Amino acid sequence: MSVLAVTFDAFTNVEFWIGVGVLAGAYAIFALGLQLNVGYTGIVNFGQAGFMAIGAYAMGILVVDHGVSFWLALPLATLIAMAAGVLIGLPALRLRSDYFAIVTIAFAEMIRYTAQNARELTGGNQGLLGFDDDWVEFSIEVQDSLASVGLGDQFLLPLLLAVWTTLLVLTVLLRRVTNSPWGRVLRAIREDEDAARALGKNVFAYKLQSLAIAAGVGAISGYFLVLNLAFINPQQFEPLVTFLGYAVLVLGGLASYVGVIIGAVILWTLLEATRFIDLPLSAEKVASLRFIIVGLILILLMAFRPQGILGKKEEMVLGD
């Protein structure tokens, strides 16, 4: 019989938890886009990792290959990702939900695959480096200012602050926009597209807008994830990322933006906290175990509490 030993001082390892915070925050942003699509519009977007990849690579290529300023590349790449959302949405959004899920996964894999094989453009599996010089400079300045309040020794702290500020701003914006008349049309589409059409709403246009916004938000989450690693490579955009995004979504609850934040924090705490449990298993096995747990969470949640922690049962409708 093995004894589980939990190393308590590890729990207070600030650097570690800042890293978790960055991941949780970035995934929360990623899932905000999914929430808009799935929870509020009823479109089952499984290509979010693809938009993330387009945004990240567009940014990286603009900075490294074309000398564009990092700060300018960010909004430009976001627009490129949104354009991709429109491009893929035009043919795909008229498909039925299950076909839409399949075609969006295929699209995301195409992007990742292209990133892997178009080596001259993207660096292939070796990845893209050197796009973050401006950010690092800025980050160090922020660190210096933080030093004046005694928080200057954490390298990732500026990134954490950036991620969570962006997350909160986006959450507020998205809530505003979803509770508006525009958002009301989305919610009607979510439940019954024909009802919306019969009332004069151009359903296709709304779905396209929803997808484009989600693509932009996905791109933004991508920037934070690649800044975290200082490196862009195709492995960061595997379907696993989208599936984890959905895990965040269903944990926190459909149709709840705050739920997304809670879901992200819970999921990443769970995933990373397992590092501290001293199981008599190799690191590889622990990694597998973590994902088995994620899978079980998905299955059990969907079976017994599909609305998640904060979701509302009455709003659990997806007209398909």
Partner 1 sequence: MDAGTSSRPAVDASHRRALRYLAQRPPLVVALIMLVALLALVITEGLQPTAQRTVNGFVSGSYFALGAVGLTLVYGTLKLVNFAHGDFLTFGAYIAFLFSVSVGLPLIVAAAIAVAATALLGVGTERVMWRPMRERKAGLLQLLLMTIGLAFVLRNSIQFVAGTQPRTLDVDVESSVAFLGLRIGRTELIVVAIGFAVLVGIAMMLRSTSLGKQMRALSDDFDLASVTGIDTDRIVTVTWIFAAGSAGLAGVLYTSAIGTLTPNIGFFLLLSLFAAVILGGIGNAYGALAGGLIIGLAQEWSTLLVDARWKVAVGFIVLILVLIVRPQGLFGRERTV
Partner 2 sequence: MTDTSPTTADPTARAAGDRLLDVRDVVKRFGGINAVDGATLDVVRGSITALIGPNGAGKTTLFNVLTGFYRPESGAVVYDGKSIFRRQPHVIARRGMVRTFQITKALGAMPVIDNMMLAAPHQPGEHLATLLFRPLASRQREKEVRARALELLDVFGLTAKADDYAGTLSGGQRKLLELARALMVEPRFVLLDEPMAGINPTLGARLLDHMARLREEDGVTFLFIEHDMEVVMGHSDRVIVMAQGRVIADGAPDVVRNDPRVIDAYLGDPDRRGAAS
Where along the sequence are the contacts to partner 1 (CB under 8 A)?
A: 38, 44, 91-92, 95-99, 101-103, 105-107, 109-110, 113-114, 117, 239, 243, 246, 250, 284-285, 288-289, 291-292, 294-299, 302-303, 306, 316, 318, 320
| 165 contributes a contact to partner 2 by CB under 8 A | no
What distance in Å separates the CA atoms of residue 205 and residue 97, rounded to the nearest whole number?
17
Closest CA to 168 of 220, 114, 235, 238: 220
Q: Which C-beta is closer to partner 1: that of 168 or that of 195?
A: 195
Query: Which tokens hold the place of 124?
Result: 């292939």
Residue 307 CB, nearest approach to partner 1 (Å): 10
- Beta carbon of residue 213, minimum distance to partner 2 (angstroms, whole number): 8
Nearer to partner 1, 43 or 59 (CB): 43
Residue 306 interaction partner, one of partner 2, partner 1, none, beta carbon < 5-8 Å per kind: partner 1
DSSP lists the bridge partners of residue 277 as: 6
Closest approach, Cβ 42 to partner 1, in A, equals 9
CB of 40 to partner 1, least distance (A): 13
Query: Binding partner 2 by CB under 8 A: which of 58, 88, 203, 214?
Result: 203
Nearer to partner 2 (CB atom), residue 132 or residue 193: 193
With b for 16 or more beta-carbon neighbours within 10 A and e for fewer, the 188-205 pattern comes to bbbeebeebeeeebebee
**Alpha helix segments (H runs only) across 118-180:** 119-122, 133-147, 157-178
Q: Is 198 in the site for partner 2 (CB under 8 A)?
A: yes
Q: Report the residue from 7, 180, 235, 288 that binds partner 2 according to the rule CB under 8 A.
A: 180
Give whichever of 115 and 213 is closer to partner 1, judged by the CB atom: 115
To partner 1, the closest distance from the beta carbon of 281 in angstroms equals 9
How far is 256 from 253, CA to CA, in rounded Å? 6
Instruction: By CB under 8 A, name the one of 35, 209, 228, 307 that touches partner 2.
Output: 209
Q: Does 320 bind partner 2 (CB under 8 A)?
A: no
By CB under 8 A, residue 177 contacts partner 2 = yes
N residues, the chain: 320
Least distance (Å) from partner 2 to the CB of residue 302? 19
CB of 243 to partner 1, least distance (A): 5
| CA–CA distance, 172 with 315 (Å, rounded to integer) | 20
Residues 6+ apart with CB under 8 A from 263: 28, 31, 247, 248, 249, 250, 251, 252, 253, 308, 309
Residue numbers 288-317 binding partner 2 by CB under 8 A: 314-317
Nearer to partner 1, 110 or 140 (CB): 110
45: its two tokens: 């977007």
Under rule CB under 8 A, how many of the chain's residues touch partner 2?
26
Report the residue from 32, 188, 220, 227 that binds partner 2 according to the rule CB under 8 A. Answer: 188
Contact residues toward partner 2 (CB under 8 A) are 177, 180-182, 184-185, 187-188, 190-192, 194-203, 209, 314-317
